[in-house]
Amino acid sequence: MAEKPNKTSNELFRGALILSAAAIIVKVLSAAYRIPYQNIAGDIGFYIYQQVYPFYGVAFTLSTIGFPVVISKLIAERESSNNFAVKDILVTSFVVLSSISVMMFAALFLGADWIAGWMKDPHLAGLLRIVAYSYLLMPISSVLRGYFQGINDMLPTASSQVAEQCIRVLTILVLSTIFVHQGYSDYVVGKGAVLGSVTGGITGLVLLIAFVILREEWKLFLRMRIKPVNFIKISKALVFQGLAFCITGLILILFQFVDSLHLYSLLRETGMGEREAKEWKGVYDRGQPLLQLGTVVANSFALALVPVISGFVQSKSQFELLNKIKLALRVSATIGVAAAIGLVVTMKPVNHMLFTDVKGTITLAIFSLSILFTSLIMAEAAVIQSLGHSFAPVIITIVGVGSKWALNLVLVPHYKIAGAASATVLAYMIMTVLFYVVLRVHIKKTLIEKRYVLIILKSTVYMGTAVVLFNCLFEWMTSGESRLLATVQALTGVGIGAAVFVMTAIRAGLFAEEELSLLPLVSKLKRLIITNRSIRNHE
C-alpha cells in the first residue's frame, strides 16, 4: 500500500512532463512556420494571413488551454465511483461549449463582411468565413481533452495538439507554395493558408476520437444524463474559470487582434496607398514569430518552476516559496533580456536571413524589446495563478489591451509601424509593472534583488558590446549584402552573444548550483560553474 502514493505522484509528474513538452512543440511550430510562409507569400501575403490569424488563435487557445483545463479540474475533483458526476460534467460541458461555439461561428461567419469592413479590407471576408469553421470543432475537442486530462491520461491531449499543429503547418506551406506557383492572387493564397486551421482541427479531433474508441472510453458516454442542480454550477465554472486559465495564452493573440483591427486603417490615414500600407503591415508582422520564439524559450524555463511553487504553496513553506518565486522571475528576466537585446543588436542580419530583406529593421528591433516584458508577464501570471489568484491576470490583460489600442492611436499617425511597435512595448511594460505590483501586494517582499539586476545589466552590456564589435568587423571584412553572408553574420553573432552572456552571468554568480538543478540543461551548467569556481580559486 505504501507504493501507491509514489506511483500516483510519478504518474502525475509524467503526465505534466508530456503535456509541457507538447505545449513547447506546439508553440515553436506555431511561430516557426511563419518565417517560410513570409518567404513564400511575401509581405502582402503575410499581412493577409496575419489579419485573420488572431481569430483562429482564440479558438485554438480555448480548445487546448482554457476549457480542457477546467473540465479536467472538475473531473479530478468530483469523480465518483459510479461516474455519474463525470457524466454530468461531460454533458454539461458539451452543451455549454456547443452553444458558445455555434454563437462564435455565426458571429464570425455572418459578420465576416462587417469585420473585414472594419479592417478596411473587404477581401478578407472569405478568409474569415473559413476560419469560422474551426470554432465548430471546439466543443468535442475540448470535452475529450478535458476528460483525458481529468483521468491523468495526457497522451491523447498532447498527441492531438502536436498532430493538429503539424497538419495545419503542412497545409499552410504546401497549399501556399502550390497557389503561388500557379499564379493565384494573394487572397487565394491566404485562403489556402487559413484552411490549415480546419484541416489541423479535424486531424486533432479524429485522433482524440481514435483514443476514445481504442481505449473503450466510449462506454462512459452511453446513457449520459444531466442533473439540473449541477448544470448551472458546472456552467459557471466552465465559462469563468476557462477564461482565467487561458488568459495568459491569449495575451499575445489579443495584441495581434488590436493590430489586425485598426493598424492597416491607421497607416492608410497617414497617407499611404493601399498596397504600400499592406506591405508595411506585413513587414511589421515579421516581429510576431520573433516575439513568440523568444517568449517560448523564457516561458519554458520559468514554467518548469511552477509545479515546484505550487508544491510549496500546499506545504505552506513561506521561505522556500519566496525563493522559488524569486528564481522564476530571475530566470525570466535573464532570458528575456538576453533574447531581446541580442535580437536588437543582430536585427539587421537576422531580418535579412529570415525574411529576404532588411525592411523595417528599426521597427523590428523596437518590437524585439517586447520579449523581455512578455517573458516576465508569463512568469508573473503563472506564479499569481499558482498562488490561487486567477482573476487578477484577466483584469491586467484588459488594461494592457486597452493601453495597446490607445497607444496605437497616438503613436501610429506620427511614427507609422515604428509607432505600433513602440505601443506594443509600452503596453507590455505596463502589464509587467501591474503584475509585479499584484505579486508584491500578496508576497510583501522584494522579489528582484539589486545585485542580480546589476549582474544581468553587466552581462547584457558585455554581450551587446561583443556583438556590435563583431558586426563592425564582419561588415568591414566582407563586401556586398547577400543573404548567405547575412546568415553567417546572424548565426555567428547570436553564438558569440550567447556565449558572452552565459559566461559573464555564471561567473558573476547569477544562479547558485542548487538553483540550476531545477532547470533544464543543468548538468552542463553545473560543470561550467565548477570549472569557473576552480579557476577563481586558483587565481
Distance between terminal CA atoms of the chain?
A: 55
> Taken in order 216, 63, 371, 449, is the CA torsion positive or negative?
negative
Q: Which residue has the higher pLDDT, 153 or 334?
A: 334
The yes-or-no verdict on residue 308 having pLDDT over 70 is no
Looking at every residue in the chain, the average pLDDT score rounds to 84
pLDDT of residue 327: 81
Residue of 326, 431, 322, 325 whose CA lies nearest to 372 = 431
Q: Which residue has the higher pLDDT, 531 or 136?
A: 136
Helix count (H) and strand count (E) of the chain?
22, 0
Tens digits of per-residue pLDDT, 251-262? 889 999 999 999
The yes-or-no verdict on residue 417 having pLDDT over 80 is yes
What confidence tier does 273 reach under pLDDT thresholds 50, 70, 90? very high
What residues contact residue 299 under an 8 Å CB cut-off, 6+ apart? 27, 332, 375, 378, 379
What confidence tier does 1 reach under pLDDT thresholds 50, 70, 90? very low
C-alpha cell of residue 532:
569557473
Tens digits of per-residue pLDDT, 499-524? 999 899 988 888 776 666 655 554 45
pLDDT of residue 81: 43
The yes-or-no verdict on residue 5 having pLDDT over 50 is no
Which of 65-74, 197-206, 350-359, 413-422 has the lowest average pLDDT?
65-74
What confidence tier does 61 reach under pLDDT thresholds 50, 70, 90? confident
What residues contact residue 486 under an 8 Å CB cut-off, 6+ apart? 348, 349, 352, 353
C-alpha 150/C-alpha 1 separation (Å) is: 23
Give CA 59 to chain center in angstroms: 14
Q: Is 429 left (phi over 0), alpha (psi -120 to 50) or beta?
A: alpha
pLDDT of residue 218: 58
pLDDT of residue 523: 45
pLDDT of residue 272: 92
Rounded to two decimals, the pTM is: 0.87
Q: Is 308 left (phi over 0), alpha (psi -120 to 50) or beta?
A: alpha
pLDDT of residue 390: 72
**What backbone torsions phi and psi does residue 218 show, to the nearest 5 degrees?**
-60, -25
C-alpha 67/C-alpha 104 separation (Å) is: 15
Query: Using alpha carbons only, how large is the chain's radius of gyration in Å?
Result: 24
The yes-or-no verdict on residue 236 having pLDDT over 70 is yes
C-alpha 142/C-alpha 3 separation (Å) is: 33
What residues contact residue 129 under an 8 Å CB cut-off, 6+ apart? 108, 109, 112
Q: Which residue has the higher pLDDT, 364 or 380?
A: 364
pLDDT of residue 231: 74
For the residues 309-327, what does the mean pLDDT come to? 69
What confidence tier does 14 reach under pLDDT thresholds 50, 70, 90? low
The yes-or-no verdict on residue 23 having pLDDT over 50 is yes
Give the count of beta carbons closer than 10 Å to the beta carbon of residue 24. Answer: 15
Q: Which residue has the higher pLDDT, 486 or 524?
A: 486
Which of 37-41, 259-263, 290-294, 429-433 has the lowest average pLDDT?
290-294
Instruction: Please report, rounded to a whole number, the percentage of residues in the chain having pLDDT higher than 70.
Output: 83
The yes-or-no verdict on residue 448 having pLDDT over 50 is yes
Tens digits of per-residue pLDDT, 170-182? 999 999 999 999 9
The yes-or-no verdict on residue 498 having pLDDT over 80 is yes
**156 in Cβ contact with 145 (< 8 Å):** yes
Q: Which residue has the higher pLDDT, 82 or 238?
A: 238
Question: Could you give the C-alpha distances from 348 to 357, 372, 514, in angstroms and in order?
Answer: 9, 19, 38
pLDDT of residue 31: 81
What confidence tier does 7 reach under pLDDT thresholds 50, 70, 90? very low
For the residues 282-286, what does the mean pLDDT come to? 94
C-alpha 310/C-alpha 324 separation (Å) is: 10
What confidence tier does 412 reach under pLDDT thresholds 50, 70, 90? very high
The yes-or-no verdict on residue 130 having pLDDT over 70 is yes
For the residues 281-297, what does the mean pLDDT come to? 88
